[in-house]
Chains A and B, each alone.
Chain A
Amino acid sequence: MEELLEKIGQCVEKGKVNKSAPYPKDMAGQDGADELAQQALSIGITPDAILKACNDAMQRIGERFGRNEVFVPELLMSAKAMHAVMAHLKPFFKSGNVKRKGKFILGTVAGDLHDIGKNLVAMVIEGNGWEVIDLGVDVKTPKFLEAIQQNPGSAVGLSTLLTTTMVNMAKTVQEIKEKFPTTKVIVGGAPLTYDAAIKMGADAYSPDPQGAVEFLNKACLST
């Protein structure tokens, strides 16, 4: 049992999606996250245990990404492998047998169409056990506010790649904080710095997805 869970974790960390996946080369022909998750469920390993193995693996790859030891491709492949596991766990989420840590609303701010950074954050946070509500790109303030209204207690993440849209980000952060003062807001994106983030009223800034996970786990998990 332990061995199977460890293998699932390895597949997620190394980005081995399924048996036929060519990546990574040194695992060619072996069972991937997809097959192993199915096997684990079939021999009675609990969805919770499988989820934890995935979360731990995503944590490891996220940390390595934060240390610049791996880059976007490795993180993407890990996320893809994790998604293959999640597909098997979906019925348990739906039935309520497995619970997520909380909800995280995420979007790229108004005027900005870039989604790579946001998607990476979404994948890592989902991989850590949060439910991610992805509002997409070019998200105007009312859409964020509506999503917070509909999902009370959610934390919010805003992304921007463009220097020009940092201004829109600041406006959105301020409006969120005005209407929902207790909502935790974290921002990220290439042109930002910690100082700029705090100045615009955000609770946190992270230069990488793992930092966002750490903030969420620290600031938003009161129980």
Chain B
Amino acid sequence: MRSLIQTLKAKKIVISDGAIGTILQARGLQPGECPELWNITHRSEILTMAKEYIEAGSDMILTNSFGANSLKLKHFGLQDRVAELNRVAAQIAREAAGDDHLVFGSIGPTGVIIMMGDVSEEEIYDGYFVQTKALKEGGVDGICVETMSAIDEAAIAIRAARDATGLEVACTFTFEKTLNNEYRTMMGVTPEEMVKAVKAAGANIIGTNCGNGIELMIEIVKEIRKVDNITPVIVHSNAGKPIVKEGRTIFPETPEFMASKIKELIEAGANIVGGCCGTTPEHIKAIAKVVKSLR
């Protein structure tokens, strides 16, 4: 088993990977199709993507399992295949990563707002437990709880991941800038509240993902660092806010632009850097070049 925290000590800055969804869409994943089913139906595409990120310079890659929880898979009638889809997701990433790169199992929100009381906390915990246990069986080194906006759901996911795997757990929230120039999640959570809550739940690595571009991520990292100077911070930034041009969705931030902001992101306090929606192996290549020059 490889440790992200140990890797960080050795490398000082760790390079993560870029988007999965964006790449799969470019390769033909249709809206309304289940991306995680591609682990079975398009195994070679998933493996190729993972290898491309490793070749681009990623020290760690994530699994194609973001939405592979029972509540989300229910939409596709795949709720009985949670363990299988996650296990295979991890196996593919491991195959690409080999022994000297890290694999973190991606787990995303269920889409359920817990405070509405429609789904019990136990059911959500059990779902994440099954998902993360299967990711471990498939060979991940840790779990990355991503794109969270609610503290209660994130805390349940972290606890389930720790209980099921005993591995390192990273947790990232998605913040937007409000009209009052604060950063908040959709559920109103500030970076400061996030830091307290996810550390209390047992996360080893904290951070932010998705969002509206790398410049805002720098600001969010500064907010996190105001209240925490010790915990490793991971950032997976979107390539800006998407625009539609001639029927196609375009993310405006180029590899060069994102790479030009990486130094500032690291100076703000980020330790592990990678991309989210709209980023590609080209983005990671450009980012890796900067990171390597800073090490």
Contacts and interface: CB of A to CB of B under 8 A. Distances in A.
B31 A68 contact: no
B186 interface: yes
Contacts of B184: 68, 71
A153 to B, nearest CB: 30
A174 B171 CA distance: 40
Contact of B32 (A110, A163, A166): A110
A202 to B, nearest CB: 13
B115 interface: yes
B180 A68 contact: yes
Interface in A115-147: 115-116, 137-138
A80 interface: yes
Interface string B48-67: 00000000000000000000
A193 B243 contact: yes
A74 B188 CA distance: 9
A196 B243 contact: yes
Contacts of A138: 32, 75
B138 to A, nearest CB: 25
B116 A163 contact: no
A149 to B, nearest CB: 24
Contacts of A110: 31-32
B187 interface: yes
Interface in A67-104: 67-68, 70-74, 76-77, 80
B178 interface: yes
B10 interface: no
A111 B247 contact: no
A163 B210 CA distance: 12
Contacts of B40: none
Interface in A10-66: 23
**Size bracket of the A interface:** 20 to 34
- Looking at chain B's contact residues, the main secondary structure is loop
Interface residues of B, number: 32
Nearest to B249: A163
A168 interface: yes
A112 B31 contact: yes
Contacts of A168: 31
Nearest to B67: A113
A217 interface: no
B251 to A, nearest CB: 8
A72 B188 contact: yes
B249 A164 contact: yes
Contacts of A191: 241-242, 244, 249
Contacts of B3: none
Contact of A80 (B111, B116, B187): B116
Contacts of B294: none
B25 interface: yes
A176 to B, nearest CB: 17
Interface string B193-228: 000000000000000000000000000000000000
A110 B30 CA distance: 11
A113 B109 CA distance: 13
B113 A76 contact: yes
B188 A166 contact: no
Interface of A: 23, 67-68, 70-74, 76-77, 80, 110-116, 137-138, 162-168, 170, 191, 193, 196, 199-200
28 contacts: A23-B115, A68-B178, A68-B180, A70-B188, A71-B188, A72-B113, A72-B187, A73-B115, A74-B188, A77-B115, A111-B33, A113-B72, A114-B111, A116-B113, A162-B31, A163-B249, A163-B251, A163-B278, A164-B21, A164-B31, A166-B242, A167-B31, A167-B244, A167-B248, A168-B31, A191-B241, A191-B242, A196-B244
Instruction: Please provide the 7 A-B residue pairs with the shortest distance between their CB atoms, ordered closest to farther.
Output: A111-B31, A71-B188, A111-B32, A68-B178, A163-B242, A163-B249, A165-B31
